Structures are given as structure tokens and as C-alpha cells.
Amino acid sequence: MISASTQAAAAMTAGRRKINVKIPFDLVDPDVVYVGVTSNNNSPYSNLAQVYDKKMDAALIATCELGHWPLDGSALVMPRQDQDVQVAYMSDAASTVSGSLSNIYVQLNLANLGILQTASVFFSELEEDGAAVDFLFEVLQGNTVAHSEHITGNTETRVDFWGFTVYNVTGLRVTVTKWSRSYCRARVIEIIPGIYDTWDNKAVYSVYHKSERRYVEQPRQLPHR
């Protein structure tokens, strides 16, 4: 059974309750080791460990980029790395007026990944952050590029890759050459070596809930007649 907190158990036994379903679908090799993240243009405000933490909800960070410092206080002033704010990778350089970037890359380094057949790259879902329009995705095997795909004209915040087989994978690299917004920093929120998704109430049609109870028979003394 899936373990639950005391608060969750109390909510499930309440007289009236509403349960919102959120199911993680994780097909990432459990033996993979995340060695770290490298980049050639890393902002000091990046939190590179978040590139592989399987959290995709990016925070709006207050910067001098267009739309990034609203006066309603909704943007966070550059957070410290010890704060629970999803920043992941953010480039130090900004795009030109046409969105061009000078081959900015971010690389997820891996170990103990025997085989890889699919991967995903996540950009921020915030409109103010934009996303990569043109970029190169590479699967590394030591110093060799074992598989690569050029993406052009992208408009999605999530890009999935499949149809390849690479053994002994040591890294996944994303090199961005064009961004969707002018004068904007490149942001890569997550790189997944496999398949990872979260299904909520909008995707799940029905849920079958099974609870278990253990019955322990207590000895009883019968009355004498």
C-alpha cells in the first residue's frame, strides 16, 4: 500500500471530503545516477540541481526582462538557492531582438544508465519566460554524440524525443540558438532521461480505491454456566 501522512489519513476518514487525484507516471531508470549539470552560460541565480528534480512549475523571477517585474508583487526578487523556488537553469546572456542566442547549452550528466530510448525537455510554462524555438538535443556516450535531433520552429513548453536506442548514456545536452522572446534569458526547467508525467483530475477518468484492514482476534473468556 502507499503510505500516507497522519493528516491525509484523517482527511480520508472525515465525514465529508473531496479528494483531488494526482498520479505521477515515472518511467525513469531507478538506477540512474545524476552526476550534475554543466553549462557554458550559467546565471549565478540558477539552481542547477533543479534541472533533474522532476518539478516543472517555474517561478516568475523579477529581472529587467520585459514583463518580469510587475508592480503587483507577483514576481520574486532573485531567490537564494536555499529557497524552495523553481528556477533550474537560467542563462546569463539574453536573446537579441530577433531572439537569437549564441549556442547556449545546458548538459545533464549521468551515470549507470545502461539504455535510453526516450527523453523530455521542459521549458517554463510562464508566458513571460518564453521557450526555445530552435535548439539541438544530443544524447552523449562518453565523448561521442550517439544521437542528436535539430528542432526548429518549436512552440511547445515540453518537447519529447523517442525512436532511438543508446547504451551507456553519460549525458543529455540542450543547445539553444533561438528563443521565442526578445531580450530574454534562456530557461530550461527540466531534462528527463525517460518518461515522466503527472496526471490530475483532468486526465484521470476514474480511480479504484482499495483499503486494507488487519483483523486481530482477541481472546475472549466465555462466562461459566
Phi, psi of 6, deg, nearest 5: -60, -40
Confidence (pLDDT) at 82: 54
Residue 76: which pLDDT band, with cuts at 50, 70 and 90? low
- pLDDT band of residue 2 (cuts 50, 70, 90) is low
DSSP line for 182-219:
TT-EEEE-EEESEEEEEE-TTT-------------PPP
Write down the H helix ranges in the chain: 6-12
Count of CB atoms situated within 10 Å of the CB of 41: 18
CATH says 30-199 is which class?
mainly beta
d(CA 173, CA 138): 5
92-123 confidence digits (pLDDT tens): 999 999 999 998 999 999 999 999 999 999 99
pLDDT digits (tens, 9 = 90+) for 15-72: 566 667 777 778 899 999 999 999 999 888 888 999 999 988 887 777 777 776 666 7
Parse the chain into domains and list their residue ranges: 30-199
Residue 53 is predicted with a pLDDT of: 93
Amino acid 7: pLDDT: 67
Tell me how far apart the 2 most distant CA atoms of the chain are, in Å. Answer: 98
**Model confidence at 5: pLDDT above 60:** yes
- Cα distance between residue 173 and residue 37, in whole Å: 10
Query: Using CA atoms, how far apart are residues 59 and 168, in angstroms rounded to an integer?
Result: 34
**Residues 52, 86: contact at Cβ < 8 Å?**
no
**Could you report the per-residue pLDDT of 147-185, keeping only the tens digit for each?**
999 999 999 999 999 999 999 999 999 999 999 999 999
